[in-house]
């Protein structure tokens, strides 16, 4: 295994240890390949992360067969989420303080330059999970992130159909979204908003949006939180807008054998694009050719009022209030019983 090398990253030299360590055996891709990929798309990944508290998804042993990610229930995995700045971080790695649903706080990595991305990649970070807030105001999201999550029996092509109708609905509300592949089977739409509403309101807005979309496409879209109710539909995962829930940033590498990446798309290429088209070997040339297709996310900010008005009408006219939070959350005001439908009789 080669000795450590140094790479230039935005005017800084960043050390890469064990650069020849294989991270993606199926492709023969190494740690050095991963770091160089992030540098090649540096302006794009930094645009997605700049000034945002960011959880690092670290795979220090690479993505080998049988490797798994540690969870809250089982911390014996080969990879893990780093929610606090690692000890020994260079002084140019800045932080932002965030509050978790439990009330505890943490100083998370807050990227301000591409050297921070390269440093994190050297630690085995493949996927960056930025909060939908910026450091100056960590209580008020400036992005709605709409996660189009294919359920069993559906795939990316189904998410594409839903994405177009989602955009049409956004435009009717005076808004627009920026699409990207998730790097897996799904799609994400980013909707930039003014940071004037809190996490509860932002989540409520996404619920209202999901319900409106489900009314338009009842056989294709669901906001049912319980898997047993979703069927073969695209799930609008509204809880991705809950505090401390994040999705993979644009340009993040996904821990899949092909080393796919989450790729920003133009709307006119959504139909023909496929998640497997974008990986760490193909994305640098694409980025050089088309630039950062999500740069516009930082150039506009919409009001959340149209969606909050829709939420208010749902509640007044249809009795549709809140939906369940993730299981690790404390009981939230107005939240319905957090029990799956097939077990509710036990609690009645």
Residue 283, C-beta contacts closer than 8 angstroms, at least 6 positions apart: 37, 40, 41, 251, 261, 263
- Could you tell me the pTM of the whole model? 0.96
Do 174 and 310 lie in one domain? The reply is yes
CA distance 325 to 335: 7
Helices (H) then strands (E): counts for the chain: 9, 14
Do 110 and 16 lie in one domain? The reply is yes
Do 227 and 304 lie in one domain? The reply is yes
Q: Is residue 95 part of a domain?
A: yes
Q: Are 296 and 49 in contact (CB under 8 A)?
A: no
**Which mean pLDDT values do the consecutive 10-residue runs of the chain (348 residues) have?**
89 97 97 98 98 98 93 88 96 97 96 98 98 97 98 97 98 98 96 98 98 98 96 98 97 97 98 96 98 97 98 96 93 88 65
Cα dihedral 92, 283, 254, 182 in deg (nearest 10): 110
Do 100 and 152 lie in one domain? The reply is no
CA distances from 184 to 9, 149, 222, 243 (A): 28, 10, 19, 23
Do 130 and 197 lie in one domain? The reply is no
Do 203 and 97 lie in one domain? The reply is no
Give a three-class secondary structure readout of 128-171.
EEECCCECCECCCCCEEEEEEEECCCCCHHHHHHHHHHHHHHHH
User: How many domains are contained in the chain?
Assistant: 2
Structural domain for 15, as ranges: 4-136
Q: Output the pLDDT for position 42.
A: 98
CA distance 136 to 153: 42
Q: Is residue 56 part of a domain?
A: yes
CA distance 179 to 31: 28
Q: Are 199 and 205 in contact (CB under 8 A)?
A: no
Q: Output the pLDDT for position 346.
A: 56
CA distance 182 to 253: 10
Do 229 and 205 lie in one domain? The reply is yes
């Amino acid at each position: 295994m080669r000795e450590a090398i140094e790479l230039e990253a935005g005017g800084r030299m960043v050390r890469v240890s064990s650069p020849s360590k294989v991270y993606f055996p199926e492709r023969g891709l190494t740690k050095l390949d991963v770091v160089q990929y992030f540098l090649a798309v540096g302006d794009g990944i930094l645009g997605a992360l700049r000034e945002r508290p960011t959880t690092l998804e670290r795979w220090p042993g690479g993505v080998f067969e049988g490797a798994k990610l540690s969870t809250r229930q089982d911390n014996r995995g080969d990879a893990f989420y780093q929610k606090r700045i690692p000890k020994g971080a260079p002084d140019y790695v800045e932080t932002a303080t965030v509050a978790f649903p439990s009330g505890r706080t943490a100083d998370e990595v807050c990227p301000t330059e591409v050297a921070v991305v390269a440093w994190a990649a050297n630690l085995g970070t493949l996927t960056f999970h930025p909060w939908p807030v910026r450091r100056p105001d960590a209580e008020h999201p400036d992005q709605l992130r709409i996660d189009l999550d294919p359920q069993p029996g559906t795939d990316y092509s189904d998410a594409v159909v839903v994405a177009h109708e989602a955009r049409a609905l956004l435009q009717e509300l005076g808004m627009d979204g920026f699409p990207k592949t998730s790097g897996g089977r799904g799609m994400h739409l980013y909707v930039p908003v003014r940071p004037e509403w809190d996490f509860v309101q932002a989540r409520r807005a996404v619920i209202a949006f999901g319900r409106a979309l489900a009314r338009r496409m009842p056989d294709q879209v669901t906001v049912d939180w319980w898997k047993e109710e979703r069927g073969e539909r695209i799930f609008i995962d509204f809880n991705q807008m809950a505090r401390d829930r994040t999705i993979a940033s644009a340009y993040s590498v996904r821990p899949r054998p092909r080393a796919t990446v989450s790729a920003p798309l133009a709307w006119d290429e959504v139909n023909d694009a496929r998640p497997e088209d974008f990986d760490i070997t193909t994305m640098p040339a694409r980025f050089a050719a088309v630039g950062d297709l999500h740069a516009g996310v930082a150039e506009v900010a919409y009001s959340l009022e149209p969606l909050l008005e829709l939420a208010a009408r749902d509640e007044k006219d249809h009795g549709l209030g809140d939906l369940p939070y993730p299981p690790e959350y404390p009981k939230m005001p107005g939240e319905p019983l957090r029990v799956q439908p097939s077990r509710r009789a036990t609690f009645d």
